[in-house]
Amino acid sequence: MTQPWMIGVDLGGTKTEVILLDHHSVEHFRARRPTPAGDYRATLEVIAGLVAEAEQVAASDRLPVGVGIPGSVSGLTGKVKNGNSTWLNGQPMARDLSELLQRDVVLTNDANCLALSEATDGAGKGYDVVLAIILGTGCGSGISVGGKVLTGPNGVAGEWGHNPLPWTPQSELDQRPCFCGRRGCNETFVSGTGLAWTHRLLWEQSMTARAIETAALAGDPQAIGTLEAYLEHLSRGLAAVINVVDPDVVVLGGGMSNLDAIYERLPETLPQYVFGGECHTPIVAARHGDSSGVRGAAWLGAGKGRA
């Protein structure tokens, strides 16, 4: 690596963040701006502006840039697909950003960035196969193998969030339409939105995920019941991935990953669904928390993690 600096951008539905790292993993600059939802060109300009701010701090230009996006990049067309920030879908975003910034720009799914960050210098460091899962407003996952991000020829490796929750009756799946056009996706059960959905279906009461967690800690029996259902759903969803990938470690990020009960209960419940009745896979929280995505984008842009 010849450049001492690298820039990562995390493009979210409501905010866009930039970070300036050196190759010792030390942060030198960070900034956030609102994401101009629904406006593709304005989104590109926000990213360009943040990159310029980071380069001003570095007193250098043409620095490597990686961008994590809430979607994936088609290996066939090079365009964004599967994004819940729908104004990005169908756009040749890597090409457009490369032209705007006058350099090559690497794009990947934000969960891939989480996986790379945590495998490089986070909770997954030292493990060969790292499964990283974002449990936020939505959910998704990324896989790092030997320090390289696994994307696959279709650009959808790790798209765990948009498979139906396993071992679930069709009648329950049908109650949860997903933005992707299907019903009963993991995302509709194990995201923060999914937790709120479960509470509404169980008790005919609307509460946010944060309010449900607070109420459960205060001893509210309905909220406790909702969290019990959530942990059961998460166990089923994770076990299905472990049955296929059998990762060395599972790293959780996103707001729901702060739920202590996950790390207490899943080691007990996962063996019920993992084939063979055994599961010794460590389930750990992301070391870099909400910063993992943007840090992983920076590492990816600098060339680390690419096959």
Do residues 292 and 113 lie in contact, with contact meaning Cβ atoms separated by under 8 Å?
Answer: yes
Q: 180 exposed, middle or buried (CB, 10 Å; 0-12, 13-18, 19+)?
A: middle
CB contact burial 219-232 (16+ within 10 A = b; e otherwise): ebeebbebbebbbb
- pLDDT at position 241 is 96
Place of tokens 């060969």: 128
**Main-chain phi, psi angles of 202, to 5 degrees:** -75, -40
Answering whether pTM is above 0.75, one says: yes
- Region 126-286: CATH code: 3.30.420.40
CA-closest candidate to residue 160, choices 243, 227, 80: 243
Element (H, E) at 41: helix 40-58
- pLDDT at position 3 is 64
CATH T-level fold of 5-114+290-301: Nucleotidyltransferase; domain 5 (3.30.420)
- Asked if 5-114+290-301 and 126-286 have one fold, the answer is yes
Domain ranges of the chain: 5-114+290-301, 126-286
Per-residue pLDDT of the chain (307 residues; tens, 9 = 90+): 456 899 999 998 889 999 999 989 899 999 999 999 999 999 999 999 999 999 999 999 999 999 999 888 888 899 999 888 889 999 999 999 999 999 999 999 999 999 999 999 999 999 999 999 999 888 989 999 999 999 888 888 998 999 999 999 999 999 999 988 999 999 999 999 999 999 999 999 999 999 999 999 999 999 999 999 999 999 999 999 999 999 999 999 999 999 999 999 999 999 999 999 999 999 999 999 989 999 999 999 999 877 6
